[in-house]
A and B are shown apart, each in its own frame.
Chain A
Amino acid sequence: MHRGRRGESARRLFARNPVLGPTAALVLAIVFFSLSTSTFFNIDNFSLIVQQSVVIGTLALGQTLIILTAGIDLANAAIAVFGTLLLTRLTLGGLPSAMAIVAGLVACTIAATVSGLLVTRIKLPPFIVTLGMLAVMTAVTNLYSTGTTFAVPNGTLTWLGNSLYLFGRVQFTMGMLLAALLFVVMWFVLSKTGWGRHVYAVGNEPEAARLTGIHIDRTLVSVYAVAGLIYGFAAWMALGRTPTADPNAYQTGNLDSITAVVIGGTSLFGGRGGVVGTVVGALIVAILRSGLTQMGIDSNYQNLATGVLVIAAVAFDQATRRRA
């Protein structure tokens, strides 16, 4: 009975601080890999890990918003990949890069908004809507690219690949900084504004949200639109990371982003979690891959470990949410 009570208070602690579990896992992973390999614990490696997480992390940021409303977006990476081709082809076609970027952001926003409208107007489950959008966007991208990979002209499109060196030593890419800025802005909006409150309420208990006068459909469509805008930024970041627009890139980006969100402690049932968890989740996945690679472990085992982690994260989420 004594142990039961202690278990109860621990359960409550984790339930009220959903980032606690993922953060503990992150620290454990860092300690473990630092002890297991000689190459892991150094600032260049950490910088590299963050660079590797930027695109998936940003896709996961948009994904977080949608999962908070109890939805899911299977089309996010496909939308961003379309964005990379649009940016590149418009620029190659003679449009100023800045305008191409704006066009890309608008196009990604529109694509995700279409998902949102289908979810709210035709009342289709987000899973089905975005599964359809995934196929549509993949096809559109292939048609538009004629299946070819385009080299990205240096300049504004690849600007996010440029680096700053802090203390002449620690490498920050512009993409990292932009991703960090987007995370801070979204954290701020979700936790400090009425819109953020409504996103949580709509995901947690739509009926209560409706009865208290929150416009559920308007909130949902705006969530998909903001997520789409974020995917547009992810597209630009992807060009900074690898200066080619490849229609076959990021094919598992949707699932990788969901993995980061879920490992970060955001509940698939909506209304719980947030963007801080997603940062942690994205870093955990990247650290796991980097660490296991440096330990010389086959990438299939890395996938296996990620899979186990996803299941463990959801099981943990369920266990801490279970009502007493």
Chain B
Amino acid sequence: MSTATQDDTARRSTAGQEPIMTGRGLVKRYGHVTAINGADFDLYPGEVLAIVGDNGAGKSSLIKALTGALTPDEGTITLDGKEVKFHSPLEARRQGIETVYQTLAVAPALDIASNLFLGRERRRGGILGSLRLLDKKAMRAAARDELNSLGIATIQDISQPVETLSGGQRQAVAVARAAMFGSKVVIMDEPTAALGVRETGQVLELIKRISGRGLPVVLISHDMPAVFEVSDRIHVHRLGRRTGVVDPARVSMSDVVSFITGAQEIPADVDVTNRAPDVTHQGGAP
């Protein structure tokens, strides 16, 4: 099953790098239900880390713990080597962790620029700023720049209400917002779940561009082809904990499915749990 060669291992120029974000021994209980059961998590700089697992495996709870939507009962989370405790999504966001929610968290009636800056509006300088006036011009320009730099060419009119956009374009707006404000980590929850083939391809392109900037991306997905196309490492989650992290180059999709269901243990030779990924694709190489 392993298709890896010695060369692959040797190529790992970034091996030995420290993770940018970690979770150790995370536990979250809801009454009798243990949603997170001693889970670990490691995210290395610049990588795309996919998190896969069955429904109810506790992926969402893990992500909520990392983004401050829930506070774990036990365990520690570090960011840049320092321990952090998030009591709300806002606190995680202030530390540079941006989340693209499955619901996208956009206001359909508001235009694209307003949505990109929702809750973080830019104000005018000087006296006009003390009147709390919005700097609409600057926000529109920044929104335009962000969409351009992410290669989102299908959106023409930045003052268009989000409800007039297609599903893929809405996703792109949500991703652009995360890329714009995320300084440390971008987390995406099932970004391709509601999309067709072509639009899925466009979102994967966005993920590559974001990680190409050196910003690590955590991708929660059931979409195996998508996971294999963009991820550097695949974190397998089962029964509330991480059972291992595998290298997509050395396992097949059906292997991953059997790791998810527990039909097969993760063999030591494909486990890259403690190894930084090769992120030499950084800088936009195909």
Contacts and interface: CB of A to CB of B under 8 A. Distances in A.
Interface of A: 12, 15-16, 192-195, 197-198, 200-201, 204-205, 207-209, 211-214, 271-272, 323
A201 B118 contact: yes
Interface of B: 89-90, 93, 99, 101, 103-110, 114, 118-121, 123, 131-134, 136, 161, 163-164
11 contacts: A16-B161, A194-B121, A194-B132, A205-B106, A207-B103, A211-B89, A212-B118, A213-B120, A214-B119, A271-B110, A323-B163
Question: Interface SS of chain A: helix, strand, loop or mixed?
Answer: helix
A195 B110 CA distance: 14
A200 B109 CA distance: 8
A197 B118 contact: yes
A200 B107 contact: yes
A308 B182 CA distance: 51
A271 B134 CA distance: 18
Contacts of A201: 107, 110, 114, 118-119
What is the interface of chain B mostly: helix, strand, loop, or mixed? loop
Given A212-B120, A213-B119, A213-B120, A193 B132 contact: yes
A15 to B, nearest CB: 8
B132 A205 contact: no
B121 A208 contact: no
A197 B114 contact: yes
Nearest to B122: A194
A208 B105 CA distance: 4
Contacts of A323: 163
A200 B161 CA distance: 13
A255 to B, nearest CB: 26
Given A193-B131, A201-B118, A207-B103, 20 more contacts: A12-B164, A194-B123, A195-B132, A197-B118, A197-B134, A198-B119, A200-B109, A200-B110, A204-B107, A204-B110, A205-B109, A208-B107, A209-B107, A209-B119, A211-B99, A212-B119, A213-B90, A213-B120, A214-B118, A271-B107
Contacts of B131: 193
B101 A211 contact: yes
A272 B118 contact: no
A315 to B, nearest CB: 19
Contacts of A204: 107-110
A212 B110 contact: no
A208 B163 contact: no
A193 B123 CA distance: 8
A205 B107 contact: yes
Contact of A272 (B109, B121, B123): B109
A127 to B, nearest CB: 22
B109 A271 contact: yes
